[in-house]
Structure 1
Amino acid sequence: MDQGITFQDVTYRRQDRLILRGISLSLTARRIGVIGRNGSGKTTLLRLMAGLVAPSSGQIRLDGLDPAADRRAMLDRVGILFQNPDHQILFPTVEEELAFGLRQQGASATEAAAEVATLLQAEGRSHWAKALVASLSHGQKQWLCLMAVLLMRPATLLLDEPFAALDLPTQARLARRLAVLPQRIVTISHDPDAVAAADHLVWIEGGEVARQGRPADVLPAFRAEMARLGDADADTDLSH
């Protein structure tokens, strides 16, 4: 049952550095954006949602489950797309990469291969099956990672700066693809335009929730603060 994503007074420390503190959120919208400066803690927030790291204190639930404690259950519930696909890809060929998640979910080698072949045919990329991943462009690698995640049919997708390294035509194609997906999608970005169409927006600043609500209510304040910081050249606080 879809119960959304909740954070209750979550703190996260990495060694002696406090990355997030006092995060309390209840996220049930279909399209959620998380915005903030580089180093603000937004990627850590996404990793906590995915269960890749556990909070230092507080509680996180995704559809009622603890993502860090119930990693097996998360295979069917949440998929994550990293900013750099090279950090995500594990196998040398396209078909091997696409099949991996299905195998993790319990599909046999034959079943996984059949699903991969069906997907590639539907996408007009059957000739990619034996292709080396290293031969793909950045945008093609990102498509591969997205398809590998979607084959696992997660209820929630977590996207880390999905448009950052793409040219404009590839951004437009990815945006169209994401817009029609039935999953809940959480997109993190430093770019207001990337999250302007979200149903709910969370602004993370200095490891805390600065503001949340509709983009029309959050983005003007975010833009004004970014302009102020730009005028002041105020970036030294992130290096502490």
Structure 2
Amino acid sequence: MRERERRVLVVEDEPTIAESVAARLRAEGFAVDIARDGPGAVAAAGATRPDVVVLDVMLPGFDGLEVCRRIQAERPVPVLMLTARDDETDVLVGLGVGADDYLTKPFSIRELAARVHALLRRVERARADSAAPIVLGELEVNPAERRVRLAGAEVHLTPTEFDLLVHLANRPRAVQPRERLLAEIWGWGEAAGTRTVDSHVKALRRKLGADLIRTVHGVGYALEVNDTGVTS
């Protein structure tokens, strides 16, 4: 049976950029849809159910941050955010609302395609590595179903937040250096993206409790548990 064609939604209001990105991704075997404003992007994500979204921050209607919030609320999907400048606030807010990675304009089309492939590989690897549920006190992480429950209530996580939580939950109390997390979860070989890790940890704390993950300053993070489970 032929493998299902993977689909990318490109959300970009500049026609030249949108068509250039779409042409490169189609040449690499993806099915590509284009949306040019915020409302159109949300509608397209619901209709086409893309495997990855390439999302510009600056859009007519409403911006990419709001688009990201809305599509992630409907269904977890990897998002590559495009930002016009390397502004730390834009980047951190984007990562905080569910983006998995980002590129700063102007960017290389080749680099963008490589990032899309990397996002898909990460999601597919996580599915292939699915194992038995991890239960730590009131926290239950089910890798096979990609679901998280806290005190019986389901918690919505983005794909990267989920992968980060599984990595930490498989090694409770063990300190994981930021550089290792970047390499094993994001596939990055250099440490320039440590704020990406910090933003995703912040999102997990917001959704699962501020004391869930301990910061080891200058090193990294550890999932905090006591003898009966997750620290309250």
- The higher radius of gyration belongs to 1
Fold similarity call, TM over 0.5: no
Per the normalisation by structure 2, the TM-score is 0.28
Per the normalisation by structure 1, the TM-score is 0.27
